[in-house]
């Protein structure tokens, strides 16, 4: 069985050459060699974006719709996944804490504190090792830190219920994530949940889950497992 797939696509952004004052792209005299092409230095404005690809465990900085630089990363463990979706950089700190390497780039994930940061465990890069944050080599996060600003878009690709070859994780009180948000929305649509859909599995979500289970003849434990996902229409 595979979870429903939700593909997030990076919108195309316009990328226009710099024309001269006469409206013509400036030419290089034939007798002189063309100067080396320099990539524009991003300022953290609307033309910069970060795209995270979980399948290859890579983070790519885009300027406009052009990839500028790609870095290897580590992601969250299956039980503490990296959030999927589009977010924004909301803060930046140097030497935020020993476990976060030399740089911290915070994201506006609504259900917790998540960010892109360095690491004191460089061997973990390329694996699923974190509690949901995106880890980078310290030298790489220092480089990225200087190239983006507050407000930079961060697009994390993937499926909200996890990788297609894995069953979605079991959810219980205390968990948080996009999958919890999806469950809350399904329970609300079914008339069982009346709290805030915030991606945090609290007592209200647990009680709504128990009511749903009771109504559908499922084991009443308030924990979202395989049969609950099926009953909610999230597994085929």
Residue 41 lies in a domain: no
Task: Categorize the per-residue pLDDT at 176 as very low, low, confident or very high, splitting at 50, 70 and 90.
Answer: very high
Mean pLDDT over the full length of the chain = 83
User: Residue 41: is its pLDDT beyond 90?
Assistant: no
Q: Which of 2-11, 101-110, 144-153 has the lowest mean pLDDT?
A: 2-11
- pLDDT at residue 45, rounded to an integer: 52
- Is residue 42, in this structure, part of any structural domain at all? no
User: 11: Cβ–Cβ under 8 A, 6 or more apart, which residues?
Assistant: none
Are residues 88 and 124 both part of a single domain?
yes
Segment holding 186, helix H or strand E: helix 178-189
Query: Which residues, other chains included, contact 5 with Cβ-Cβ below 8 Å and sequence gap of 6+?
Result: 159, 164
Assess whether 133 carries a catalytic annotation: yes
What would the two tokens of residue 74 be?
């580590």
**Based on the domain organization, do 52 and 149 belong to the same domain?**
yes
Check whether residue 89 and residue 144 sit in a common domain: yes
- Nearest Cα to 143, choosing from 106, 107, 87, 103? 103
Same domain as 225, residue 126? no
Per annotation, catalytic residue among 12, 123, 131, 133: 133
What digits encode the pLDDT tens for the residues 192-224? 999 999 999 999 999 999 999 999 999 999 999
Output the CA torsion sign for 82, 115, 113, 104: positive
The whole-number average pLDDT for the span 175-199 is: 96
93 and 183 share one domain? no
Tally of CB atoms within 10 A around 75: 24
- Same domain for 140 and 75, yes or no, is yes
Q: Is residue 192 part of a domain?
A: yes
Q: Which of 50, 43, 47 is nearest to 107 (CA)?
A: 50
Domain membership of residue 77 (yes or no) is: yes
Percent of the chain at pLDDT > 70 equals 81
**Does residue 116 sit in the same domain as residue 70?**
yes
Residue 53 has pLDDT above 60, yes or no: yes
Q: Do the domain assignments include residue 18? A: no
Q: Do 93 and 132 fall into the same domain?
A: yes
From the CA atom positions of the chain, what is the Rg in Å?
22
Q: Give the residue from 146, 169, 178, 143 showing the smallest Cα distance to 229.
A: 169
Domain hosting residue 74, numbered range? 48-156
Give the tens place of pLDDT for each residue, 133-166.
999 999 999 999 999 999 999 999 999 998 888 8
Residue-wise burial string across 14-35, b where 16 or more C-beta atoms lie within 10 A, e elsewhere:
eeeeeeeeeeeeeeeeeeeeee
pLDDT score for 187: 98
- Please indicate whether residue 227 is annotated as part of the active site: no
pLDDT at 2 over 70: no
Domain final position from 156, 187, 215:
156
Cα 197 to Cα 169: distance, rounded to the nearest angstrom: 19
Q: What is the CATH number of the domain that holds 202?
A: 1.10.101.10
| Identified catalytic residue from 12, 117, 123, 197 | 117
Final residue in a domain of this structure, among 90, 123, 156: 156
The CATH number that applies at residue 83 is: 2.40.440.10
Question: Can you tell me the distance from the alpha carbon of 55 to that of 226, in angstroms, rounded to the nearest whole number?
Answer: 24
User: Is it the case that residue 27 has pLDDT exceeding 90?
Assistant: no
* pLDDT score of 135: 97
Whether 130 shows a pLDDT value over 90: the answer reads: yes
* pLDDT at site 125: 96
Find out whether 81 and 114 touch, Cβ atoms under 8 Å: no
Query: How far apart, in Å, are the Cα atoms of 67 and each of 120, 170, 190?
Result: 28, 36, 42
Q: Does 6 reside within a domain?
A: no
Is residue 220 one of the residues assigned to a domain? yes
151 lies in the same domain as 192: no
**Range of 7-21, 89-103, 215-229 with top mean pLDDT:** 215-229
Report how many domains make up the chain.
Answer: 2
Residues 140 and 195 in one domain: no
Closest C-alpha to 81, from 126, 130, 120: 130
- 63: pLDDT confidence band, cut at 50, 70 and 90? confident
Q: Is 91 part of any domain?
A: yes
148 and 187 together in one domain: no
Q: Among 28-32, 47-51, 94-98, where is mean pLDDT lowest?
A: 28-32
What integer pLDDT is reported at residue 218 of this predicted model? 97
């Amino acid at each position: 069985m595979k979870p429903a797939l939700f593909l997030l696509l990076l919108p195309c952004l316009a990328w226009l050459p710099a024309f001269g004052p006469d409206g013509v792209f400036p030419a290089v005299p034939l007798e002189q060699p063309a100067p080396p092409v320099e990539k524009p230095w991003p300022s953290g404005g609307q033309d910069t974006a970060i795209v995270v690809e979980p399948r290859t465990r890579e983070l790519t900085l885009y300027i406009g719709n052009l990839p500028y630089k790609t870095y290897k990363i580590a992601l969250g463990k299956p039980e503490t996944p990296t959030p999927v979706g589009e977010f924004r950089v909301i803060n930046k700190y140097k030497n935020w804490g020993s476990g976060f390497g030399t740089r911290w780039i915070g994201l506006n994930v609504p259900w917790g504190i998540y960010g892109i940061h360095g690491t004191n465990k460089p061997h973990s890069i390329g694996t699923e090792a974190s509690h949901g944050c995106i880890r980078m080599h310290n030298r790489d996060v220092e480089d990225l830190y200087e190239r983006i600003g507050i407000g930079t878009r961060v697009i994390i690709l993937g499926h909200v219920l996890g990788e297609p070859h894995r069953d979605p994780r079991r959810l219980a009180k205390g968990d948080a994530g996009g999958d919890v948000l999806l469950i809350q929305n399904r329970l609300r649509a079914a008339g069982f949940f009346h709290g805030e859909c915030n991606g945090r599995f609290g007592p209200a979500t647990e009680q709504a889950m128990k009511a749903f289970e009771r109504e559908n003849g499922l084991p009443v434990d308030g924990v979202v497992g395989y049969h609950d996902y099926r009953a909610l229409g999230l597994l085929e």
